[in-house]
Amino acid sequence: MTGAVQAYEVMVLIDPEAEEARQEEIIARVRDIVLGAGGTWDAVDPWGRRKLAYEIDKKGEAFYWMVRLTFPAPALAELERVLRITDEVLRHKAVKQSKARPVAAARS
């Protein structure tokens, strides 16, 4: 792997009707993509079921998951593709954190 890795925060909104096991499968798939791309899994923070500001697919609530990870920027496209085609994911947003780190620094 060459280039720099980038820190991201990814917010994932999951259908409120999805069972807990299915939610964990979705988050595990995110982890597999990140680790497969040579990244690191920094933290996962389930925020639980919350009311949406507006309805999405006729749903007024969603399960919120905040994931903090570090991985090469080109792998973001694959992560977003998988989240986009996963039926239970209502919305997702990846936000790049302040600075990229060289690969050597990311592994230490």
Instruction: Indicate the range of 13-27, 46-60, 93-107 predicted with least confidence.
Output: 93-107
Q: Which amino acid is at 40?
A: T
Per DSSP bridges, beta strands 40-56 and 4-14 are unpaired
Domain annotation for the chain: domains and CATH numbers? 4-107 (3.30.70.60)
Q: Rounded mean pLDDT of 8-26?
A: 96
**Cβ atoms of residues 101 and 3 within 8 Å:** no
Confidence of residue 98 (pLDDT cuts 50, 70, 90): confident
Burial of 49 (0-12, 13-18, 19+ CB in 10 A): exposed
